Amino acid sequence: MTGSLVVVGTGPGRPELMTPATQAAIARATDLVGYGPYLDRIPAANPAQRRHASDNRVELLRARHALALAAEGRDVVVVSGGDPGVFAMAAAVFEALETGDPAWLSLDIRVEPGVTAMLAAAAAVGAPLGGDFCALSLSDNLKSWSTIERRLKAAAEADFVIALYNPASKARPHQLAHAFDVLRAAKAAETPVLFVRAAGTAEVKVVETTLADADAAVADMRTLIIIGASTTRRVGRWFYTPRSERSAA
């Protein structure tokens, strides 16, 4: 098989935050496959390049389609937002590979890293990820709420800084409020909570609050939430987590 498939992420939004390696992969692609709004972020490269836009909820079908195109000899780029391996298309591509035509295993498949939302959000407020941290998706499309709750409790217990992806949607408005309740049971009331909307874009908006006061209604699907560890603190306009757990407050 001669086709290729590269899975890329466009970064959080600002064109400068798309890596040159990702730009190069996109420039040489014959076919771009992805969720419509992510494809729209990519300026038209050449008129011969085909774009296959799809709905956000059909990841596995989109991944199979991309692999089938590569198997026909096309040079396909699958486009995600942020980093393609973080709650995004790269895993769907490998799942499609695992369950698909065994001949696809000989395709030239590659993943390019991108700037994930968590990194852009952290940079917008200072350095809250300076200590150990974890990332969770609150989307329960693909896992049960009891799994999410168990992981939130464990993350709170371990005193990680927590980055929450997919914090809210119209389909599940109450879950984030439940998530805050779970965290309040295990973490201090004054723990910093940072809602960062549209990180890494010109429209970035930060809401700083505490776990006691955190209001789930602040978040939407373009928001990433950072919840501090016990050492996360404010200095001037910024928030940071010291690298040493012994550094003085």
Which residues of this protein are in contact with ligand SAH, per CB under 6 A?
9, 12-13, 80-83, 86-88, 116-117, 120-121, 165-167, 196-201, 221-224
**Bridge partner residues of 54 (DSSP):** 35
* Closest separation in Å from C-beta 87 to ligand SAH: 4
Shorter beta-carbon distance to ligand SAH: residue 107 or 115: 115
Q: Please name the helix (run of DSSP H) or strand (run of DSSP E) that holds residue 133, with its range, or none.
A: strand 133-137
Shorter beta-carbon distance to ligand SAH: residue 58 or 221: 221
Shorter beta-carbon distance to ligand SAH: residue 175 or 231: 175
Shorter beta-carbon distance to ligand SAH: residue 5 or 71: 5
In the numeric block, which tokens belong to residue 160?
Answer: 């990680």
Shorter beta-carbon distance to ligand SAH: residue 70 or 199: 199
| Non-local CB neighbours of 188 within 8 Å, separated by 6+ positions | 211, 230
* Closest separation in Å from C-beta 78 to ligand SAH: 12
| Non-local CB neighbours of 211 within 8 Å, separated by 6+ positions | 180, 183, 184, 187, 188, 189, 190, 191, 193, 227
**Bridge partner residues of 233 (DSSP):** 240
* Closest separation in Å from C-beta 166 to ligand SAH: 4
* Closest separation in Å from C-beta 88 to ligand SAH: 3
* Closest separation in Å from C-beta 96 to ligand SAH: 17
